[in-house]
Structure 1
Amino acid sequence: MDSIRNLNGPAAVPHSLVMEDRKRVSVSGVTDVESFDEETVVLATDLGELVIHGYDLHINRIDVESGDLSLEGEIISLTYTDNQPQTGGFFGRLFR
């Protein structure tokens, strides 16, 4: 897959999202996990912030190197915003 341009112009990591039966979501191109709890997961991508709302959400897998993430739970909504990712999110705090 070719690189695509992000909101600021430079090439971005390819981003994809697959949802299965509103129970499982796999996301690629994740640059940071801003926050998460059982009802909301906020992810930073090169294409903007992705907010996932639901119930009993839990992250199954995070691959920091590839930017892949999978989660399960009852998914209510997926929302993108054009907000640029903030620095110092979950990964930044985890690996200090």
Structure 2
Amino acid sequence: MEEKNHKAEHRLQLLRREQGSFTGVRDVNSFDEKEISLVTEEGILTVHGEGLHVTRLDLEKQEVDIQGRVDSLVYSQGIAKSKGGEGMLKRLFQ
């Protein structure tokens, strides 16, 4: 079987800093009311804010919707992207 080397398109849409839609999401690292951490095709995306909630998650389609007040969006080149989405604790204790 041929391996796919194609990256899904990563897109984000934010409406009035209260509703967000993200595509190209490989996994959700963590989430609570102040922070959501997503593994995307372009690195780790951390959403900071207040009253944050994941309202829809479809990892098969690589889509996530959120609600709440968004204060910042920060990308970082995390190890999780280069290691195929493994969690940080798993890598530390190998």
Do they superpose with TM above 0.5?
yes
| 1:18 match | 13
Matched residues in 2 for 1:14 and 1:84: separation?
A: 20
| 2:86 match | 87
The number of residues matched between the two structures is: 80
Deviation, structure 1 residue 88? 4.3
Between the aligned residues of both structures, percent identity stands at: 35
* Structure with max Cα Rg: 2
Per the normalisation by structure 1, the TM-score is 0.78
Moved over 4 A (4+): none
Name stretches of at least 5 consecutive residues in structure 1 with no aligned partner.
Answer: 1-9, 90-96
Per the normalisation by structure 2, the TM-score is 0.79
Paired residue for 1:30, among 25, 31, 38? 25
- Give the aligned CA root-mean-square deviation in angstroms: 1.5
| 1:42 match | 37
Structure (1/2) with the larger helix percentage? 2
